[in-house]
Every structure is written in structure tokens, then in C-alpha cells.
Structure 1
Amino acid sequence: MLTPRHQALLMTLAGMTVGVAVFGGVLAFNGNPLAGDDTPAAVNSQPTPSTSVRGDGLQPDSLQYTLQTFGTAKDPVAAEVPTGWKSSQDGTRPRFSDPTGVWQIRFDTRGSKKSPDQLVDERFRSIDERDLKLISRDNGTLVYTYTDKARGPRMGLSRWVSADSGETSAVEITVGGRPQDEAALRAILQHATDSLQLPPSAGDTRPN
């Protein structure tokens, strides 16, 4: 015959057995994160953001360049633009774009009798875009941001290159993209400037 003390001990052991069985059933249903189960232990956990949507923008070191020739047969001009960017037209005002249309570089080889600094001022006054903000305007280069109705925030960089120590302007180079692409846009503009090949002077036939 069991004493009351023995009966209490047996009831305690029986309760522990039931508890272990219930806990094991819960683990079998939810998965045990400590056992390396592929099933998530918590169904309301948030997914890790993908690096493809960080918005870091175009990177300078991702670009390669190809020499392009444009202008006219009499006065050809050449410069290096990012590889894979295509222009739908040649001549004096070609515009090269990447396949997605997000980034562009445009050249205007018609030239001007005005200095680069004068053209910087004129261009900025002529821009009619929402949220126009001046970033800088020095050394014949204009940098600004604005909001495009269809494409959202945009950044533009325009540079006028002189062939006579700043008296007049020979070529305009304009690069466009998004504000987060600024480092790459500056690199593209500088690369085009450094690789620019102008024709020998054949007399001043530029418009004013």
C-alpha cells in the first residue's frame, strides 16, 4: 500500500511526463530552431532587405568606356562614353543613353562665341523644372537637381569646354541621371572631358 507521500511523488512524475510530451508536440509543429530545421520558428519575422534595392546608384568603378566620333565630316569630334550607351543620331548634337534610359550624356559641338562662365549663367536661368536647386556653378560647369514629372528626382551636369583659354566655348557636354548617381555622373563627365578630341581650328564659324 502506497503512503500519501509516495502517491504525491507518483503524481508529480506523471505531470512531468505529460509536460514533456506536450512540449515535444509543440516543437514538432513549429520546428526547433536549435536543431537546424529549415522551417522558421516565428512566422511573423521580417525578411532581410535585398541589396538590389538599396538605392546606392550607379557606381564609377562599374563603368567601361568606348570612343565615339560625331560632329561633322569637316569638323569631327570624338570622346569616350560608357560602353553600351547608344545614340539615335550622329551629327553635332548626339545623345548617348544606357539601355534603360536612366542615364545619358549629350554633346553639342556647334560651339559659341560666349565664354563657358557666361553659358553656365544663361543655362541655369533658362531651366524651367520643378524643385530646381543649384549645387555648384564654377569652372564652366553647372551642377543642379530638379524633379521630373515622369521620372522623379534628377541631376544634371553641364560643362562647356573652351579651346582658347576660356574666351569662347567649343563643346558642351551634359550628363544626366539621378541624385544618387552623382559620383558616377561626375566620373562620366570628367572622362568625356579628358578624352575629348577637337578638330584643328579652321576659322571662327561658331554662332554667338
Structure 2
Amino acid sequence: MARRGTALLASGLVAMIAIGGAGGYGVGWLTALDRSISATGKPMPLGQIDLLKTPAPPSTTPIPVDSRKPVPDTSKPLRAGALRYKTQTVTVRGTLKSEVSLKVPIGWVYTPQSDEDTARFNETTKRYLRFQAGFPRTRPPSASMAAKVHDLTNLEESQQVRFISQVDDGDVATLAYEWVPPESISKNPILRLVIVRWVADESGDVAVELGVTGLPQDAAALRAVIDHASESVVRRDIPLAPS
């Protein structure tokens, strides 16, 4: 088992995506996280273009905080002692192709993401574990955590971010916060607890970003999940083949 918080790097041929027994750097999310999809437009015929009109600027009206007042979720909390784990192995693609192995709670289902550098395992849509890899190693965990904090502080006030803790252990950095997702992610403004952890390899730079999301009452179980993941995570890379 890898030392707590240390991802191991090895070279070699990486297999196709595998889910099973053999096994952020980016500012992710949640992380996972959970990202918007860009829209594509159709070209307008030249006869319909009016060069004398200036298009109106996009609306920047903030969403009222009161409109996203958190709604209590009375789901029973996850119990850390009831969780059992098995090793899952998934290949993701960013600048590099990374095969990542880590321990995931049994029953949490692998869910492909639109971002090919990210993988996610869902217990439900409100509870999940994700990781991001496939990026170059360029900065230590503390710098990645600082970048994430900066991004969170610039979110709409309606998302009501509340920082709980920031811990820098050198080769591992961990951020915990509460957050109300925007309506594009969750129609109901249910308060979420998010724990993000950046794990360095022997280079001292981040090799894997991990994130676990759930409800505030799941705090103990979520910490157990991210501990199991970060203590077991292994990343192996090869460059992407030329296109």
C-alpha cells in the first residue's frame, strides 16, 4: 500500500479502462465534481447580419442569496464503519494518459465524465468520489489548494461557500468546505460537504486530485472514503499517441 497521501508513478504501457478487482491538480468538482458543457451555434446567413447594431452585453445580475436558501436533506448519514472497499483501476486522458488505481467503496458505481481527465464513482448523485489525473506535474499540493480557494471565493454569493478547514502536510493538502450547488447542477439547494485532497508523488508536485462530496451529516464517512483513496492511489503514465 502506498504511504498515506503519496501517489506512485511508474512508466509502462497503459491498458484500456478497467474497472475491477485488479485493481488537480486542476481545480476540479467537484468538484466533480460537474462541469458545464459548451454550446455550439450555427452560422447566420450574411443577409441577416445588421452591422449597425451593437449586441447587448450579457446579463451580470447576481442570483439572490435568498433564492438558494439551503433546504435540509434528512437522508440517513453514511456510516464509516459500514463501508467496505475494493481496488478500482481506471484510465483517464489529459495531456497524458494516466492509469489510476485506488480503493473505492463497494457499490459506488463508476460513471464516465465529459472531461476525459476525470473519473467518478457515484453512491448517489448527492454522494460520490472523483479523481483527476492525466496532467503534468507542475506545482505542489499547497499551491493547488490555494488556487482552489481562490476560485471558490469568486463564486456567486448564492453558492454560499463556507470553508471548514485547510491542511497542508507537505506531500498532501486537504480542503474541506460546504457549498450550495447552482441550479444548473442541482435544482434543489441542498447543502453539500466537499473534501478535496491533492496528493504529490516523489517529485513533490501533485500527481492526483481527489474529491469526495456528500451531505454534512456524512462528514465522518466522507473522511474515511478520501483517506482510503489517498492512501492507496497509484498513477502510471504514458504520453498520448500523436493524433
- 1:158 matches 2:196: yes
Aligned residue among 160, 183, 197 for 1:131: 160
- 1:17-96 equivalent positions in 2, closer than 5 A: 57-72=77-92, 75-89=98-112, 92-96=117-121
Number of residue pairs the alignment of both structures matches: 149
SS of structure 1 residue aligned to 2:138 = coil
User: Counterpart of 1:95 in structure 2: which amino acid?
Assistant: R
SS of structure 2 residue aligned to 1:198 = strand
1:71–1:109 contact (8 Å) kept in structure 2: no
Partner of 1:173: 210
Q: In 2 relative to 1, CA 122–94 (structure 1 residues): closer, same or farther, beyond 3 Å? A: same
Partner of 1:10: none
2:98–2:133 contact (8 Å) kept in structure 1: no
2:213–2:222 contact (8 Å) kept in structure 1: yes
Q: Structure 1: any 5+ residue segments left out of the alignment? A: 1-52
Partner of 1:193: 230
Partner of 1:148: 181
User: Counterpart of 2:202 in structure 1: which amino acid?
Assistant: D
- 1:107 matches 2:127: no
1:71–1:93 contact (8 Å) kept in structure 2: no
Q: Which has the higher contact order (CA 8 A, sep 6+)?
A: 2
Once the two structures are TM-superposed, the CA of residue 186 in structure 1 deviates from its matched residue by 0.4
User: Counterpart of 1:188 in structure 2: which amino acid?
Assistant: V
Once the two structures are TM-superposed, the CA of residue 114 in structure 1 deviates from its matched residue by 1.2
Distance 2:213 2:98 in 1: 26
* Residues 61-91 of structure 1, C-alpha deviations (whole Å, 9 max, x = no match): 1111121111359641100111111122275
Partner of 2:219: 182
Distance 2:120 2:92 in 1: 15
4+ residue runs over 4 A deviation: 53-56
Distance 1:81 1:151 in 2: 27
User: Counterpart of 1:137 in structure 2: which amino acid?
Assistant: Q
Distance 1:176 1:197 in 2: 21
- 1:121 matches 2:159: no
Alignment RMSD (CA, Å): 2.6
Higher normalized helix content (fraction of residues)? 1
Q: Structure 2: any 5+ residue segments left out of the alignment? A: 1-72, 183-187
Distance 1:148 1:202 in 2: 35
Name the % identity: 30
SS of structure 1 residue aligned to 2:148 = helix
